[in-house]
């Protein structure tokens, strides 16, 4: 089972962020969140992966983090070699928190976004250079088995050279996974920053060449990793794996239905999640499309592991139909593999739309 816990608390709301989060809440609110988890959380299988996201999980105090990890460790039986990931913002990290994380997780994901303080300020990312350098020093000394840095490219006021310098810096710090995101003007984000889609489209192939030249290979549209450092949780979910989601705003998947939990106030009152009920054929098309975000794509063996999977020949028929209408240069299609090329991944949204609509 793949577990996800959403910790929706932040010190402040970054301007580009559209994830469900609550800035500047008091300690009593976080305690109420933990009370509810302790009262209601029941595991539903051995844990292969656990991902703790936000929000900012490291916004919690050391005492609250200890309480949170005690709950998880006492109730989830983890498989040997389980991946346990946690997101963190640099300005919230202290020696005590990093030590606690090192005891309880195998993979840290740090939201740097940019090494340029003026660029961070432009996007509402409240983190000083001093806090960033301190966090990097703490994480390096802790020697996490794996750790990721999030970086945003094509930002206003950010030169291409500055982005590549930042990517090189991330690698020199020892990060074995880099997530590179283009700025997106999300509907629920506080700042309505201008997007530069043309610039982003030109930059991504250059970013891929640069990172792959350093041995950090693209395995998903926005994610790059050294061999063995891929985020197993995300890979499992992209392939239609079962997802047990907990916390306000968290989502889950039981093999048939997806669901999403309500916001904090309703969640604390045990309001049930909203369920996304669609036909089996639509669900399979959705899963099929989502994993085409990855460089590996699908093989007959991987597809057979999807809950309720239909035949491989049907998948070949669907993708050949889509490719014939969109341009076959975006696709890699054979009896043993279905995937998108690097150019095809850049237009994944369009490909996914065609797959979603197939047969409807």
Kindly report, residue by residue over 245-260, the tens digit of the pLDDT: 999 999 999 999 999 9
Asked whether residue 148 falls in the same domain as residue 297, the answer is: no
pLDDT, residue 100, reads 98
Q: Same structural domain for residues 68 and 164?
A: yes
Residue where a domain stops, chosen among 235, 262, 286 = 235
Question: Cα–Cα distance between 111 and 93 in angstroms, integer?
Answer: 12
Q: Which position has the higher pLDDT, 205 or 184?
A: 205
Of 210, 235, 260, the domain-final residue: 235
The CATH number assigned to the domain holding 319 equals 1.10.10
Does position 193 have pLDDT exceeding 70, yes or no?
no
Q: Are residues 283 and 229 in the same domain?
A: no
Task: Please report, in angstroms and rounded to a whole number, the separation of the first and last CA atoms in the chain.
Answer: 32
Examine residue 353 and state whether it is found in any structural domain, yes or no.
yes
pLDDT given for residue 5 in this prediction: 98
Give the pLDDT of residue 200: 84
Paired tokens of 47 = 């844990």
State whether 153 and 31 are in the same domain: yes
Structure token digits, residue 140:
């390096």
Does residue 246 lie in a domain region?
no
Asked if residue 243 is part of any domain, the answer here is no
Q: How confident is the model at residue 172 (pLDDT cuts 50, 70, 90)?
A: very high
Q: Which residue has the tokens 């999807």?
A: 306
Instruction: Answer yes or no: do 110 and 57 share one domain.
Output: yes
Q: 3 with 51: CB under 8 angstroms?
A: yes
- The band of 196, judged by pLDDT with boundaries at 50, 70 and 90, is low
User: Which pLDDT score, from 0 to 100, does residue 13 have?
Assistant: 77
Nearest alpha-carbon partner for 20 in 193, 254, 186: 186
pLDDT at 12: 81
4 touches 86 (CB < 8 A): no
* 260 occurs within a structural domain: no
Residues 96 and 220 in one domain: yes
Note the pLDDT of residue 19. 82
| pLDDT number for residue 274 | 96
Q: Is residue 266 part of a domain?
A: no
What is the model's pLDDT at position 183?
A: 79
**pLDDT average, residue stretch 212-234:** 97
Q: Could you tell me if 90 and 177 lie in one domain?
A: yes
Q: Write the CATH number for 69.
A: 3.20.20.70
Residue 189 has pLDDT above 60, yes or no: no
Judgement on whether residues 184 and 117 belong to the same structural domain of the protein: yes
Q: Chain-wide mean pLDDT for the chain? A: 93
Is residue 346 scored above 70 in pLDDT?
A: yes
pLDDT at res. 152:
94
pLDDT tops 70 at residue 185: no
Residues 96 and 156 in one domain: yes
For residue 336, give its domain range.
278-360
For residue 104, being part of any structural domain is answered with yes
Element (H, E) at 235: helix 232-238
Q: Does residue 273 fall inside a structural domain?
A: no
Contact by Cβ (8 Å): 189, 16: yes
pLDDT of amino acid 190 = 56
Phi, psi (5° rounding) for residue 213? -65, -20
Say whether pLDDT at 45 is over 60: yes
Select the more confidently predicted residue: 18 or 122.
122
Residue 271 lies in a domain: no
**Quick one: tokens of 309?**
């999977």
pLDDT at residue 202 is higher than 80 = yes
Least confident of 168-182, 195-209, 279-293: 195-209
Same domain for 287 and 195? no
| 7 touches 247 (CB < 8 A) | yes
SS3 category, 161: helix
Q: Which of 172, 207, 235 is the endpoint of a domain?
A: 235
Claim to verify: residue 71 and residue 164 sit in the same structural domain: yes
Q: 39 and 102: one domain? A: yes
Q: Could you give the number of structural domains in the chain? A: 2
pLDDT tens-digit series, residues 278-320: 899 999 999 999 999 999 999 999 999 999 999 999 999 999 9
């Amino acid at each position: 089972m793949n577990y996800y816990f959403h910790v929706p608390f932040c010190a402040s709301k970054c301007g580009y962020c559209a994830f469900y989060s609550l800035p500047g809440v008091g300690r009593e609110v976080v305690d109420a969140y933990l009370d509810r988890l302790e009262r209601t959380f029941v595991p539903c299988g051995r844990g292969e992966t656990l991902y703790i996201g936000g929000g900012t999980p490291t916004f919690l105090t050391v005492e609250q983090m200890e309480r949170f990890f005690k709950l998880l460790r006492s109730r989830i039986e983890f498989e040997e070699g389980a991946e346990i990931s946690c997101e963190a913002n640099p300005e919230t990290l202290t020696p005590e928190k990093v030590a606690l994380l090192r005891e309880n997780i195998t993979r840290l994901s740090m939201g740097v976004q940019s090494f340029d303080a003026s660029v961070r300020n432009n996007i509402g990312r409240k983190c000083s250079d001093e806090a960033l350098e301190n966090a990097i020093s703490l994480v390096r000394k802790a020697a996490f088995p794996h750790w990721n840095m999030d970086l945003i490219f094509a930002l206003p006021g950010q030169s291409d050279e500055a982005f590549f310098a930042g990517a090189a810096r991330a690698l020199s710090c020892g990060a074995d996974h880099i997530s590179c995101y283009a700025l997106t003007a999300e509907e629920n984000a506080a700042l309505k920053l201008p997007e530069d889609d043309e610039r982003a489209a030109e930059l991504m192939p250059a970013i891929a060449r640069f990172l792959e030249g350093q041995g950090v290979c693209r395995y998903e549209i926005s994610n790059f990793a050294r061999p063995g450092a891929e985020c197993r949780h995300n890979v499992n979910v992209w392939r239609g794996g079962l997802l047990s989601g907990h916390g306000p705003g968290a989502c889950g998947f039981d093999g048939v239905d997806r669901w999403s939990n309500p916001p904090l106030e309703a969640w604390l009152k045990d309001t049930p999640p909203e369920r996304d009920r669609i036909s089996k054929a639509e669900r399979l098309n959705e899963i099929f499309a989502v994993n085409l975000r990855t460089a590996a794509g699908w093989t007959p063996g991987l597809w057979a592991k999807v809950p309720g999977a239909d035949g491989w020949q049907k998948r070949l028929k669907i993708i050949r139909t889509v490719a014939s209408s969109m341009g076959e240069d975006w696709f890699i299609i054979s009896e043993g593999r279905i995937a998108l090329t690097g150019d095809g991944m850049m237009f994944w949204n369009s490909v996914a739309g065609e797959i979603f609509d197939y047969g409807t």
